[in-house]
Chains A and B, each alone.
Chain A
Amino acid sequence: MEAQSLKGSLKLLSKATTTESDLELASAVLRKDRKATAEFVELYADVVYRYVRRRLIPRYDVVDDVVQEVFLAAWDGLATFRAESSLRAWLLSIASHKVQDYYRRRLRDAETLASDEEGDDLPLPTIHRHPEELIDKHRIEEKIRATMTGLPETSSLVLLWRYWEMRSAREIAAAIGRSEKGVERLLARARAQFKKKWNNE
């Protein structure tokens, strides 16, 4: 019981320290302190980069531009940062918006073809779980990457948006100005293409 309360206190203390240091760093960056700005980039570029890279598989060529956009948007909005969440979480929410802006732009421009339901009758792939789960995870990550790389951009983006960013077909439809049915068709085709490639990998 005491150990649990100590653990709770330490957690609170660590959260308070993070918030304090986040606020301190944010206000130094706002004062245009160049060294604080360097620290800001050094501390958060990796986490933002990893997030954006994962969300844009396989379009690695646009990752750098999106990451830079995230930091510039963060600078523009830094005065509104109130440390209600950590700087890390705040930056990741900006990154999520930027990634979805990218999806929106690309999918708006894309031709929505009627679903040919290709691959719909294929058996649903399974994710094999082994005791060596870490090795397995790594293998699955590689397989996801390989499968996504082989898909048309429209298909990989709509899958990422729906399942990785956890947006409903209705939300996606509203964002790109299409009907929900149209997005469902796009998703159906993307899932079928994914399954086909996944089973062949």
Chain B
Amino acid sequence: MSDAEDRFFEELAEIDPEAFSGPAPARLKASIYSALIRRQAESGPLASLSGTKASGRGLCVFEQLVEISPVSEAAKCFNCCSICHARILAEKIENAPIYWTHCPYVRFQNR
């Protein structure tokens, strides 16, 4: 093998490949998020919705309902997304027809 041959391949590898692909598919982002939340829940409860709200991060309409419900703090750690149609749509359909404000699956959509 010649040095020139090595240089040729090194030069190819140096070409800025940013234009190679666009954003990650929204379906993939949705699946990653669901997997992460599941993994987090395996080692104990998620942060409570009240805590999330207090830190200045918005809740979706369903999470708000749970947050204002007269239930225990432990119940407010429930992963509402696990039973939400928005998650299922977002994991299965690119550009899913979901539009709730502060829904994580909506923010993953590439539109």
Interface positions of A (Cβ within 8 A of B): 28, 31-42, 45-46, 48-50, 53-54, 64, 67-68, 71-72, 75-76, 124-127, 137-138, 140-141, 144-145, 159, 162-164, 166, 184, 187-188, 191, 194
Contacts and interface: CB of A to CB of B under 8 A. Distances in A.
Interface residues of B, number: 47
Interface in B42-73: 44-47, 51-52, 55, 57-59
- Most-contacted residue by chain A among B13, B24, B29 (CB, 10 A): B24
A32 B40 contact: yes
Given A31-B47, A33-B55, A141-B20, A42 B12 contact: no
Given A34-B46, A67-B28, A163 B36 contact: no
- Most-contacted residue by chain B among A41, A49, A138, A184 (CB, 10 A): A41
Contacts, number: 132
Main secondary structure of the interface of A (DSSP, over half): helix
B13 A164 contact: yes
Interface string B75-101: 000010100000000000000000000
B111 interface: no
Contacts of B15: 137, 140-141, 144
